[in-house]
A and B are shown apart, each in its own frame.
Chain A
Amino acid sequence: MRGATVKSIVGELLGRREGIAYGKGGSMHMFTKGFYGGNGIVGAQVPVGAGLAFAHQYLGKKNASVVLYGDGASNQGQVFEAFNMAKLWNLPVMFGCENNKYGMGTAANRSSALTDYYKRGQYIPGLKVNGMDVLAVKAAVKYARDYTTNGHGPLVLEYVTYRYGGHSMSDPGTTYRTREEIQRMRSTQDPIAGLKHKLLEWNVTTEEELKQIDKDARSDVDKEVAEAEQMAPPEPTPKNLFEDIYVRGSEPQFMRGRTPDENYYY
């Protein structure tokens, strides 16, 4: 979405030197131009995102920042701290709560006293969006972008969606909800199936064309994944290990290794 390739992202997941963060960041930490990373600390991204908006306003740019966090993350205190500052200073920020009904194994209603996440900005207007409808999301984001960049201050958007899989590799995702629930979501709410249905209904495209798009997407991704797998991991050299702790040229004289023999001199 921000111009990064599938290859560079899969490469990062595989810890490759040509990964999007050169194999340093991994699954939780990816950065590219205009994309300020995943944050491994749940909720910490929210005030940081408000800070991006602060900079946009400060520099007189007509940009808004898109700040995404989960239903679980929405309970972190710093989310509310960010809301307050953003409203106080009229920052162009779109706070976006991806309510996928669970934070790890905790259902939203067990973590949140109010599960209408779009209302949680109190003094910030909120918008509830069907996160399983691609076109609704597009329309909402467009509206929010215009609203926030035109000096109206922040918005809180709640994207109502669902997580099919487990939270992580170690979570089968079936101990805290029923298989039926997942199945029901898949068969009635799936965003790709939903869009497909609409496109056909509106005669925008044909079944064959959609099949071809699907096939092309699969082979594109397969190709990029195969290329990513071919990429080399970073050479395990002290130079690769210690580079980029500081901005190049501004490093201290040396960093200590595990033993003094392994100290690295820039």
Chain B
Amino acid sequence: MSRLLRPASRLVSSSAARPVNVRSAFQSFPRVPAIVQSRGYAKESGVKEYTVRDALNEALAEELELNPKVFVLGEEVAQYNGAYKVTKGLLDRFGDKRVIDSPITESGFAGLTVGAALAGLHPVCEFMTFNFAMQAIDQIINSAAKTHYMSGGIQPCNITFRGPNGFASGVAAQHSQDYSAWYGSIPGLKVVTPWSAEDAKGLLKAAIRDPNPVCVLENELLYGQTFPMSEAAQKDDFVLPFGKAKIERAGKDLTIVTLSRCVGQSLVAAENIKKKYGVECEVINLRSIKPLDVESIVKSVKKTHRLLCVESGFPAFGVGSEILALTMEYAFDYLDGPAQRITGAEVPTPYAQKLEEMSFPNEPLIEAYIAKMLRL
């Protein structure tokens, strides 16, 4: 009986598919096997390797340096150098007026930093992880996101909420959850989801400078990952615009829309798919989910005629649902098959490792699903 509810995806592989144009010898664009393949400047001089942690640290240091109204407040951000060492060295450099250890009181310090923003400062409010921001979500949404509108434009709130979000390993349900869809749904908030070191630096700096409340949803497992950082991105004027996605890998056979940690996973899957089948996936790193770059998605679908969204939140009412709905609204005519999504499983994150692995997207799953979608 419940089989009646089998979703349309079964139809994907059987739907009248535009034959995939498998080309192996005459590809029209260059490919480097590394997952950061589309970074053409990776070999340029002046490029340095940065971890995402270093990039965030540099962004904070530069903004603290440039603007005395900026301060950093959160649990363990100062003396302990940050629970994940993102704020390392900032206390020593900027002193305890600018880099402040808070008691464990998320609702309280989120509210306090919102108040400071209303009064004209530019706080960076760090949550040790966004799991704990649930204690403070009322302040983020009701006090920060809505105030400008409710005041008829009189009262801005320039605040940045940041911290690790999403999958973290071996910490079970209360410490491993992706909140992208939660914040992404709120008018008045801007929400960014960096993947690479450049994303991290450019988006965090833009968040601090943006006159609105911005959530910067980082990922703990990315902090230690290393990426090339261009010379331009190493400068203190480097910012990335919100609402502009980045094509991390060009392709013509399938559009993969993804964010945060899933960008790296999708790039690996895309590379494997190319090796095995000579098929080219285009991987779009959303970078910002509010605003969301619908234009880039539609443009890519016009080219590839197929779309897969890869994200790690709960499936219901999520980022994937939104991408698929937008694709229906704006790109339906260009699709050759139903747009699809890979998401986190609909389950509180289990502790046991093998079960945890079944709860979040990974490279083999993405690869297998692409192969199925494209009937490879």
A interface, CB within 8 angstroms of B: 12, 15-17, 21, 23-29, 39-44, 72-73, 75-77, 103-106, 110-112, 175-176, 233-236, 238, 240-242, 245, 253-263, 265
Contact = CB atoms under 8 A, between A and B. Distances in A.
Query: DSSP majority for the B interface?
Result: loop
B2 A265 contact: yes
Given A72-B103, A112-B103, A240 B355 contact: yes
A24 B355 CA distance: 9
Nearest to A169: B170
B142 interface: no
B20 interface: no
A23 B353 CA distance: 9
Contacts of B170: 26
Nearest to A38: B174
A24 B172 contact: yes
A241 B353 CA distance: 11
B369 interface: yes
A233 to B, nearest CB: 5
B104 A23 contact: no
Which 8 A-B residue pairs are closest in the complex by CB-CB distance? Answer: A26-B351, A105-B80, A23-B352, A40-B174, A15-B352, A236-B354, A75-B103, A260-B9
A41 B105 CA distance: 11
Contacts of A77: 105, 107-108
6 contacts: A25-B351, A28-B171, A39-B174, A75-B108, A112-B103, A260-B10
A112 B344 CA distance: 39
Contact of B359 (A39, A110, A235, A241): A241
Contact of A263 (B7, B135, B365): B7
Contact of B80 (A42, A76, A104, A233): A104
Nearest to B314: A256
A262 B364 CA distance: 14
B104 A256 contact: no
B186 interface: no
Given A40-B131, A73-B104, 10 more contacts: A40-B175, A176-B79, A236-B354, A241-B345, A245-B347, A256-B346, A257-B358, A258-B344, A259-B365, A261-B9
A234 B83 CA distance: 31
Contacts of A21: 351
A21 to B, nearest CB: 8
B83 A258 contact: no
Contact of B171 (A26, A176, A259): A26
Query: DSSP majority for the A interface?
Result: loop
B350 A23 contact: yes
B101 A106 contact: yes
Nearest to A261: B9
B84 to A, nearest CB: 9
A234 B355 contact: yes
B83 A241 contact: no
Given A43-B104, A106-B101, A241-B350, A175 B80 contact: yes
A234 to B, nearest CB: 5
A263 B342 CA distance: 12
Interface of B: 2-3, 5-10, 75-76, 79-80, 83, 101, 103-108, 131-132, 134-135, 170-175, 315-316, 340, 342-348, 350-355, 357-361, 365, 369, 372
Contact of B352 (A24, A28, A242): A24
Contacts of B174: 28-29, 39-41
Contacts of A253: 2, 5
A110 B171 contact: no
Nearest to B108: A77
Contacts of B9: 259-261
Of B3, B344, B345, most A-chain CB atoms within 10 Å: B345
A27 B351 CA distance: 9
Contacts of A257: 345-346, 358
A76 B107 CA distance: 8
B80 A106 contact: yes
B104 A234 contact: no
A255 B347 contact: yes
B213 to A, nearest CB: 21
A236 B79 CA distance: 42
Nearest to A262: B345
A41 B76 CA distance: 16
A104 B315 contact: no
B355 A256 contact: no
B11 to A, nearest CB: 10
Contacts of A103: 104
B352 A233 contact: yes
A101 to B, nearest CB: 15
Contacts of A12: 351
Of A15, A17, A259, A263, most B-chain CB atoms within 10 Å: A259
Nearest to A103: B104
B231 to A, nearest CB: 33
A241 to B, nearest CB: 5
B355 A23 contact: yes
Nearest to A111: B103
A41 B135 contact: yes
A176 B81 CA distance: 11
A196 B107 CA distance: 44
B247 to A, nearest CB: 24
A75 B101 CA distance: 13
